[in-house]
Structure 1
Amino acid sequence: MPYIKITQDMFNNIEYDRAVIGQSEKLTGKMANASECTPTVLIVADKGDLNAAAYHLARSLQYPFAPEVIVTVLVAESTRPALLERLQALLKPIPADVSQHAERNKILALIAKHNWETISIPELGANSPVIVCDVTHEHLGNGYNGVVTLHTFRTIQESISLCVKESIKPVNASIWSSNHASAYEIGLKIPCINIFIDCYQVSLEPLKTTNATTGTGTCALVEQNYHYETLKLQNGAKNVVFPIGTAIAN
């Protein structure tokens, strides 16, 4: 077996989710207004894929006003230290126009005043991404202002409660878990329309096309190694996506 040297550059350029590649405009395009962002909650359960979760979170933090952005993170207590360790190594400076964003800076001043715990890179100064811990968005002003909130949970029910408690209701949920049934339980009980299990920002076009053709409002299909389904529930329809390898492994 040939010897392959693993380098830091390989980790910095891992393509965790090929379905996201080619959508860089969501990250690097014109800065969207805070009210125009499509909010996502990132949920990292016990034994979830920490490398992938940290990778996607770091990319989102670098462009906090991209059209699709992570606004809240929920992480299992047992997983939090390892996730944050990986995240710190991946954080990069935010763009200059974001560091000068008036509403964001107002929120940062509020955080400093209350001495709330934050996760950032002090060496980057004003250009550092910022996560504030154990504080909900309602304490940070009206709507989303470029600062991500993080909460720690111990049980599935607590993760659901924390998500419901947040004042910004996410449209998307990206759930990373070693237990597929638990991911479904969380996804179907939180106020999100689109549930991505062990993946992030995968195109929903296959579901849109199929639902438009059938007109039934429910469907299930497999395309490009992803399972897609639309479910009709009492509180409305939900779209669920996951790589088929995830289902086989669980």
Structure 2
Amino acid sequence: MPDIKICQHMLDNIEYDSVTNSEIEKVTGKMVDSACNCTPTVLIVADKADLNAAAYYLAQSLQSPFAIDVIVTVLVAESVRTPFLERLHPQLRAIPSEVAPHIERNNALALIAKHNWETISVPELGANSPVIVCDVTHDHLGTGYNGVTTLHTFRTTQESISLYKKESIKAVNASIWTSNLASAYEMALQIPCVNIFIDCNKVSLEPLENDCTTASNGSCALVKGNYHYERLILKNGRKNIVFPFGTAIAN
């Protein structure tokens, strides 16, 4: 197991919920509605991240805006925002025709147009374009999730945490892209997400359920395939953390 320095300030004022399959609605709050019974994801793109991989996963999610693990919020470091979006744009594809007329989605798009909020989309695709709205939280777009992803820009790790906590829709999953594993852990411990994927996304958590030998406090760690798996049991719940070997360790 890598020697990650978890400092006391990372553990102070941690606010997240312990999640089981039956508690998803409690954690996602406004997220769960008749249109999308999801376990949503937040994508965090920090300095020196693998921009190509992060952009790929976001583009795939945007093409299926009501998928089970849809990316509902993106946090991107100011220093990499432009190159990240340059990689994202060519990968954007039309959303399914049956999704485009969704009433809540169209209501959100009407609000965006009314307020002239900045968006990232493909105008040539018309109503079938995926849509990201910048610097606007989900509670400004209506009640619940509506197929529109929000994007926020941050300068520091603490600012990314603060921005995410302002979002009304709390994700169950976080996909964090950064070359600094200590920084990723700092985010992981302070954002209200249970499943943390560092430099990866949608990796099966089955090894934690089947092969993890727990310590007396319930925490555990193991290696399976090319991934490090870890479960941390903290005072307010649990964190499942996964990252591939080869992820840089820096302080």
TM-score by length of 2: 0.83
Moved over 3 A (4+): 32-35, 213-216, 247-250
AA of the residue aligned to 2:163:
L
Aligned to 2:155: 154
AA of the residue aligned to 2:65:
P
Aligned to 2:3: none
Contact residue 35 and residue 143 of structure 1 kept, 8 A: no
Aligned to 1:198: 199
Deviation at 1:235, TM superposition (A): 2.2
| Cα deviation digits, residues 199-221 of structure 1 (max 9, x gap) | 0010001111135x759632111
Aligned CA RMSD, in angstroms, stands at 1.7
Query: Where do residues 1-250 of structure 1 align in structure 2 (5 Å cutoff)?
Result: 33-211=34-212, 214=214, 217-247=218-248
Aligned to 2:5: none
Contact residue 99 and residue 126 of structure 1 kept, 8 A: yes
**In 2, Cα distance between the equivalents of 1:230 and 1:247?**
20
Deviation at 1:228, TM superposition (A): 0.2
AA of the residue aligned to 1:239:
N
Contact residue 60 and residue 70 of structure 1 kept, 8 A: yes
Q: Percent identity, aligned pairs only?
A: 74
AA of the residue aligned to 2:138:
H
**In 1, Cα distance between the equivalents of 2:111 and 2:68?**
25
Contact residue 197 and residue 242 of structure 2 kept, 8 A: yes
TM-score by length of 1: 0.84
Deviation at 1:244, TM superposition (A): 1.3
SS in 2 for 1:96: coil
Count of residue pairs brought into register by the alignment: 218
**In 2, Cα distance between the equivalents of 1:154 and 1:248?**
20
**In 1, Cα distance between the equivalents of 2:128 and 2:160?**
30
Deviation at 1:34, TM superposition (A): 3.6
Gaps of 5+ in 2: 1-32
**In 2, Cα distance between the equivalents of 1:219 and 1:92?**
40
Deviation at 1:234, TM superposition (A): 2.0
**In 1, Cα distance between the equivalents of 2:239 and 2:35?**
25
SS in 2 for 1:64: coil
User: Which gives a bigger RCO, structure 1 or 2 (Cα 8 Å, sep 6+)?
Assistant: 2
SS in 2 for 1:103: helix
Contact residue 36 and residue 68 of structure 2 kept, 8 A: no
Higher helix proportion (structure 1 or 2): 1
